[in-house]
Structure 1
Amino acid sequence: MKLYKRNLMKILITNDDSFEAKGLEVLVNAVKDLGEVYVAAPAFPKSACSHSLTITKPLRFIKVADNFYKLDDGTPTDCVYLSFPEFFGGEKPDIVLSGINHGANLGEDVTYSGTAGGAMEGALHGIPSIAFSQLIKSYDNPPSEIDWDQAAKAARKITKAVLDGKIKIPHRHILNVNIPNTKKIKGFKFTKLGYRLYGNDAHKHKNPRGEEYYWIGLHPLAFKEEKGTDFDAIKNGYVSITPIKLDMTGYEALNELKNTDLGDL
């Protein structure tokens, strides 16, 4: 394996749409002049796998091209975790990028997102990490119909700002970036997570043997209308940049609960 060059920024890229995804290709090409890029991506799509780590079976890197590997049935988190000994001799890259996801990761959807999960693994290890997602009009809308040039420019600009120190990502935080599906992006907005409205889209069927099974569907993007959110920014044609911290403690609730007396056990 080719060892990294110490005089170049070390950039690790993963995703959750698999090593063959168009968004991954776009992200690699967008940042390849900013440092030495290594890619570790799942061999198969891993959407909605969240921040999951595989501990019940062995995993194997398979070389696709120079500095480009797929991880056989691994998650984005696995890819980042195993890249440290595989690519960097136990050291760490300067930045972890995850994406560009085919579809939004807005509001509480980040808790499902394998794209966000890959970035979270980088943040756990003290590495500046960014999750990128590209909105699509529908899941029938093929990646070839997306204006990936705009996505590439946005991803490169944000990545460069982090590497240059213009944007400082706090310890154990990630940046969650969503790029609108529009002919012209108006700019960038720093936002908070929106309030996602959920339902249940489970479809029950029978296979040819008469056995019942469920297929979980997809919901339309529905949010509470609120200024300053990632959804509001995207809706109005802006790239949304949301800082997310891994400490999920509900501090307001904690302060109230501290006064709760449960008595003796």
Structure 2
Amino acid sequence: MHILVTNDDGPPSPQSSPYVHSLVTELQAAGHTVSVILPNTQRSWIGKAHIVGQSIAPTYYRPGLLHADTGTTHSRPYRHSPSSTTSGGTAQDTNGNASSTSSSVEEWILIPSTPATCVQLGLHHFFLSRGPVDLVLSGPNYGRNTTAVFALSSGTLGGALEAAVCGRRAIALSYAFFDRENKPEVIREASRHSVRLVEKLMGEEAGKYWEKAHLYSVNVPLVEGVAEKKVLWTEMLQNWWRSGSCFQEVEVPEEEDESPAEREEQLRKQEVGEEADAEAAREDKHIRHTHKHFRWAPQFKDVHESVERSAPGNDGWAIRQGYTSITPLRANFMHVSGFEGELKL
């Protein structure tokens, strides 16, 4: 198969993207043609967004050692030269275009945009001479994407959704971790397990798996022996943020928040008493805002509690049991039935 891989965690990094290199390695070992196009930085929680109003300049990533932060990023794609090629016939360069020489240098595309944009560019602008893409595989996400609260904001699912609305088969793959150890042998088993699952969905019985589903959300628990545990068809658990805001106010000293020009202007106003006069003259017809800073701080306990309260059979429950969950989805916001005709005002 020709598999296009993207993610929302960016290029390999022990801190933010520890799984994608392992998955690509196992897909290649299984004999698949793997084309990789990723955001150039962390893009979690961005959904299926595109960033408009800017041109996109790719960079080129050459993977290093597996589970080591030794890859390198370059402003221009690798160019073949006699001293860096092996003997042989026609090969492909980093964009999938025909080249008269072959090379052992592997190169991925990095895009300063979102997973959905990566999918668009990967399907229509890069890797073209490799032939049609059979499957878009988005992930593996650094963390679970179970339940509606996580899935609706997931850049991993966003990449798969973009592929689906482009008429391609797509799988969003997420690894649910239970600690931050990221043991190489556990990651390797999860990746090999994921390859088997991908091959099952795309194999001889693919017709029945893709007749109704546009994409799949697959969550794999990062536990030893995951390949021996059950793989369950699941529904996505409907849940909500119930504890309040997903943002936290951050205290910032006024002198750090103001620019030098703003601070200078404030001092000059105070010198001549303008600030007090202006404040006294102002009418209180409009709400007066307090200037604040905020940081992303979602209440994960809302998700955990919703899973604890739920009945068996949903994606969150399956991961909690140590099982792999596979949830078939359609690429739309399905309407609610029962509302027809005219709404009279």
TM-score range, shorter chain: 0.7 to 0.9
Partner of 1:13: 5
Amino acid at match of 1:69: I
After superposition, the Cα gap between the structure-2 partners of 1:18 and 1:123, relative to the gap in structure 1 and judged at 3 Å, is same
Equivalent of residue 135 in structure 2, options 71, 95, 105: 95
Q: Which residue of 2 aligns with 1:166?
A: 205
Say whether the 8 Å CA contact 2:213–2:328 is kept in structure 1: no
Which residue of structure 1 aligns with residue 271 of structure 2? none
- For 1:142 and 1:201, locate their aligned partners in 2 and report how far apart those are by CA, in whole Å: 27
Match of 1:57 among 54, 57, 70: 54
Structure 1 or 2: more helix by fraction: 2
Write the mapping of 1:10-89 to structure 2, written as runs, cut at 5 A: 10-20=2-12, 21-32=17-28, 33-65=30-62, 66-71=106-111, 73-83=112-122, 84-88=124-128
Q: Which amino acid counterpart does residue 166 of structure 1 have in structure 2? A: E
Q: Which of 204, 207, 213 in structure 1 is aligned with 2:293? A: 213
**Partner Cα distance (1:146, 1:42) in 2:** 26
- Structure 1 distance, partners of 2:204, 2:155, is 26
- What secondary structure sits across from 2:171 in the alignment? strand
Distance in 1 between residues matched to 2:256 and 2:107, nearest whole Å: 47
Residue segments in structure 1 that go unaligned for 5+ positions in a row: 1-8
| More moved, 54-63 vs 92-101 | 54-63
- Return the offset for 1:41: 0.3
Residue deviations 1:177-202, cap 9 Å, x none? 11123333322001000123423342
Residue type of the alignment partner of 1:204: E
Q: Given that residues 124 and 172 in structure 1 are in contact (C-alpha distance below 8 angstroms), is that contact kept between their aligned partners in structure 2? A: no
Q: Which amino acid aligns with 1:48?
A: W
* Stretch moving more, 240-249 or 182-191: 182-191
1:231 equivalent in alignment to 2:316: yes
Which SS does the other structure have where 1:237 is aligned?
coil
Shift in Å, 1:114: 0.2
Deviations 1:72-115 (A, max 9, x none): x2111111101122221696411100111111101112110000
Residue in structure 2 matched with residue 242 of structure 1 by the alignment: 327
Task: Please state if 1:107 is matched with 2:147.
Answer: yes
Q: How far apart are the structure 2 equivalents of 1:170 and 1:112?
A: 26
Structure 2: how far apart are the matches of 1:165 and 1:206? 58
Give the 3 Å change call, closer, same or farther, for CA 91–31 of structure 1 in structure 2: closer
- Distance of aligned partners of 1:92 and 1:74 in 2 relative to their CA distance in 1, 3 Å threshold: farther
**Structure-2 separation of matches of 1:35 and 1:184:** 24
Match of 1:6 in 2: none
User: Counterpart of 2:76?
Assistant: none
Structure 2 length normalisation: TM-score?
Answer: 0.67
- Letter of the aligned partner of 1:23 in structure 2? Y
SS of 1:233's equivalent? helix
In the alignment, is the contact (CA less than 8 A) between 1:34 and 1:160 conserved in 2? no
Partners of 1:100 and 1:131 within 8 A in 2: yes
Runs of 4+ in 1 over 6 A off after TM superposition: none
Cα distance in 2 between the residues matched to 1:238 and 1:189: 7
Q: How does 1:173-212 map to 2 (within 5 A)?
A: 173-185=214-226, 186-198=229-241, 199=243, 200-208=245-253, 209=255, 211=257, 212=292
SS at match of 2:312: coil
TM-score, L = length of structure 1? 0.86
Please give the alpha-carbon distance, in whole angstroms, between the structure 2 residues aligned to 1:90 and 1:145: 31
Alignment coverage as a number of residue pairs: 249
Matched residue SS, 2:332 = coil
More strand per residue: 1
Larger mean Cα displacement after TM superposition, 241-250 or 177-186: 177-186
Counterpart residue number, 1:135: 176
Mean Cα displacement is larger for which, 111-120 or 202-211? 202-211
1:10 shift after superposition = 1.3
1:258 aligns with 2:340: yes
The residue type equivalent to 2:328 in the other structure is P
* Same amino acid, percent of matched pairs: 24
Q: Are the equivalent residues in 2 in contact too, given 1:97–1:132 (CA < 8 A)? A: yes
Residue 192 of structure 2 aligns with an amino acid whose one-letter code is K
Greater shift in the superposed pair: 208-217 or 29-38: 208-217
SS in 2 for 1:150: helix
RMSD: 2.2
- Distance across 2 between alignment mates of 1:171 and 1:79: 25
